[in-house]
Structure 1
C-alpha cells in the first residue's frame, strides 16, 4: 500500500457557499427559494449558520409535527438527538466550504416527543427574501422512519451503523492507498472533524508531521489479515493534537473491505501516567523537590552553561529523636516544612533537592564564594524555625555546610567536599539535641511502652460524662477515653491520643472505648435506663472505611446494645468534604436507628450550610462558643443561629462545656434544651454514673443559691 499525500498539498476547491442555488440540492431551477419548495413532497427547511430555523415547508411541519409559527426563529439544535448533535454541528461549521453536503442520517424530535429518522442533504444559499441577506443552509430531508424500523427488524445494516456511530472508540475505514472512506461518530465527538470533509482525504494528513514517516513504515510492515498497535498524535479540528492509541488492521485481501480499519482512542490517561512517571523519576515523591538524579541532571546542565557553582547541604539536627519524641507524623511535618521553606527561598539560578531522609541539597550559580555564603546565612535564618502543629510548638534546628568552585569540573567532588564539612561539624559539636531534651525523649519512650501495656491490662477505658435536659435529668452520656494510670492517676484524652498516634495505637484505643461503651449501653438498658443514649466518638478515617457501617452494627449485635440507643459523633472539621463512603456509612447507621451527631459544631467553614446538607440527627455546640456567650458577640450570634436552625430542622442541640449557671440559663433562653459540662458532672466511671441517675444537681459553691428547674 502507498499512502497518497497529493491531496494534502492540493485541497479540493469548493465554490463559495452563498452563490449556490437550490439547483445544487434537488435539481430544481435556480429560482427564489421560498416559492419553489412550498409544495415539495419531501420536508425542506432553511436554517442560518447558527442553527436558527428561518423556513420550513408544509411537508416539514407535517412530518416532524412542528408548529411552524412557534419554531420559526428558534434553534433546531435542541431538536436533534444528543448522539447526533456533534455530527450536525460539525457539518454546519464546514457548510460554507462544501458545494453540497454529503448524505447525513440523523434523528430529530417529533412534536409528540418521539424520534423521527431522517436522511438529509444540504447546500448554502443566499436567501433573496431575507431582509438582512443572511446566508442560509437549505436542507432537503427524507423521512426514513418506517424504512428504519423495517431494516431494524429484518437486517443488521442500520443496527451496525448505529453501533459504530455510538461506540466510544474511533473507527476509520481506509482505502488501499490510505485515503479515508468513512469514519464513525466518535471521530467527530473526540476530534471535531466533519466526516464529510474527511472522506477521500489522506489519513496521514491528520497525523502530526513528526509521526507520519514512522506510521507509514509500520503500516507497510503489517502482514495481510494482521494488525499492529501504534501511538501517534492526531490533529483535532481546532488545530491541536491529541496523543492516541491506534490499532490498524490490514484487510487489503478482504474482498469486501479491500483496505485498512483503524480503531483508536485518545490516550489522555496514558499521557498523564507517563508524565507522572517522568516526574517521579526526577523528583522526591514526598516533598516534590528534585531527588538525587534530578539534582545531578539539573546541576550538570547548569555547569555546562559555564560559571562558578556553589553547593549547600542541609540536615535536621537529631531528626530521629523528633520522630521518637513526637511521632512520625510530626517528623513528616518537619520534613515538609523544611522542604517548603527551602523552596520558598527566592534566588537566581537556584536548584533545590532532597536526597532522602533529612538530607537536603541546594546548588546555585555564582561567580564567587560570597554568593553561596550569603545564601548560606539566609537558609540558616529562614529554614530552622519552630513549627506549630495542633496548637503545639515543635522546635528543631538545622546544620549546614557549603562548597564552592569557580571553575567546576566534577559535581561529585563539590558534593563530597560539602558533605565532609557537614560531618566535621557533627563530630565537633557536643551533644547536639536541636532543642530537644534527651530526658524528655527517654520519658516519652517509657510512656509509649506503658500505653502499649495499658491496652492489654485494662487501664484504657471510657469514663462517661452526662448530658442533661433543662430539669437536670440525664438523657445521654458521652464515652470519653481515660487512662487509669497506676502512678499518675486518671489521664485524659490530651495525654492519651498524642501518644497513641505516635505508637500507631489510635485505632486500637478507639476500638477499646467503643467496645466498652457498647457493653455499658446494654448494662444501662438492663438497669432500666434504656432511654439514655450513649455517645461515642468515631475517627474520620474509620467512618470512611467501606466496612465501618456493617462492622458497627455487627458489634452492636454482639454486645446486645440497641442500635437506637447509640449516637455516633463526628468532628465537624472532618466533615468539610465527606467522601461518598462516609456519607453511605452515616446513612446506613441512621437507617438502623443509630443517630449521627456533629461534634465541636461551629468551628468549620460555613457551618450552618453543612447542617442543611449532611445526614445528621444532632449537633454539639463547641465549648469555645459556650464560653464566649454574652462575652463575644460573634460567639453569641453563632450560638443563637445554631440553636434556631437546629430547632427548625428538628435535630437535637447539645451545648458542650457548660461550667457556669449563667451559661446554662442564657442557653436555655436561646432555646437550647440539652447541656453537658462540669457544671453538672465530670466524666466518671460507669459504676459511679449509675449511682447518679436519674437526676444530677449542678455543682455549685456552698454560698451560691440552688437553681430551680427551668421548665415545669
Structure 2
C-alpha cells in the first residue's frame, strides 16, 4: 500500500507507519508538510491513500485538499488529527475529505482505510465503465474516428463563430463521402479485408484534416468532413479535390491491390443549412446523386435534392413495412413461344400498392430498395410467391410453364443466395427447371468473377439463367461465353425502334445470330406491333413478350392464357 502522509511530525509519521506495517500491510510511504512537496509527490507517483494531519505550522488539511483537487487525481483522503471542532470537521468533509479519525485511534483508522480503498476501486471501475461507454457511444471502434453524434456536436460548436461582429459570415462546408463497392469486396474477399480497407481509407482521410476541420466515420463505407473558416467556393472545391487525390494510389491488403472510388456530396453553410444535422443530411442527399452519376464524382447540394429526399424518406419508411402490411403484389406478363404462339412462361413483376401514392411500378421503389438493402427482404418475398404460384399452375394441370424472377445486384452479391433459392424450391415443391432467374447485363458485369461462381452454383441446381436487357451493357463476347447462361433477352429499346432505326435493326440481328451460335434461347422484350413480331419470327427469335400479347396481369386475369390450347397471336 502506497501512503502519502501530510504530517509535520516525523515521529507521528513513523509511529503511524509502524502501526500500518504491524497490521500486515506492505507499506511504501512518503511524508510531506507543504503544498510544493505534496504537489511534487502527486506528480512523481500514484498513491493509494492520503492521510493528513489537520493543522500544521504552514499547511492544513484544507490546503492539502486544494492541492489534491488541482492534480485531478481521485485518491482517498483521511484526516488523522488531534481533536478539532465539529464545525471544522464538517468543513473538511464538505471540502472533499472522506473521513476524520482522532489521532491515536488506530483501531478506527484501519477499517476506514480499508473502506475508502474499496470505495476508490468502485469509483475507478465506474469511471472506466463510463469511459468505455462514452468511447462506444461517440467513437467508431474500427477506425477510432468520431461517430455521427460527436461529429454533429463538434460541428455545432464551430458554427456560431463563423459570423463576425460586422455580420459577415465565413463559409463552412460539410462533405459526405462514400467508398463504392465495399459490399462487393466483403462478399468476395471477406469482411476482414473490407475492414482493413476501411482502416486504410480512414488513415488517408486523416491526412486531409487541418485546423478547423473534423473527420467522422458515419458508418459502413460512409465518412464525413466538416471544415470551417473557408473564404470562398474555390477553397471548398480545393478541399474536395484533396480528398479525391488521397485515394489515387492503390490500397494494398494481404497482397491484394484495390483502387478505391469515392462519391462526395457537399453542402455549404449558411446557404444549405444553419445547423450541423441539416448540413450533413443535405450533403448526404448530394452524395446519393453523385453516387448515381459516375465514380470519383462530387455534387453540391441544391434545394430540389432536399424535396426529393423528403419524399424518398417517406417511401423508405413505408417500404420497410410494405411486406408485413401485404402492400406488395405480383403481376405476371406472359412469355410466348413464337413457334407455337402459345403461353409457356410468365415474368413475375412486383408492384407496390402504396396507401398514399397508389399502385407504384418497380422503377419507383426498387432502386430505393437496392440502396437501403430492403431488396433482400423484398426479393425473398417475390421469389417465394412466384414459385408458389407456378407450382399452383402445375398442380392445376396447366402445363410445365416456367416463372421468371428478377435478381438485383445486391441479391446476387449475397453469399446465401444459393441456399435461399434452394430453400424456396424445397418449400414450394417447384421443379428447378421451371425457375428462370433474370440478371441484367450491367449487374453481371459489376463483379464478373463473383457472378460467374454464383451463377454456376445456381445452374448446377437445374435453374435456368437469363440475361435481361441484353445489348444495353458492356459485356464482351469472351465474358459472355464464361457465364452459364441459357437465355438472352433483347432490351425493349431495340425492339421499339426496329422499324425506324437501322442501328436497332442491326443490333437485334447481331444479338439473334450471337445467341444462336452459342445455343442460347433468345427472347424479345417489349413487342407491341405485328410488324415487330414478323421481323423477329423471320430472324428465328424463340420467344417474345410485350403488349402485343398482353400487359402484366393479376393471377386471376392470367387464367385465360393458361389453357394449353390457347393460341395467342396467329
TM-score by length of 1: 0.40
Max Rg structure: 1
The structure with the largest helix share of the pair is 2
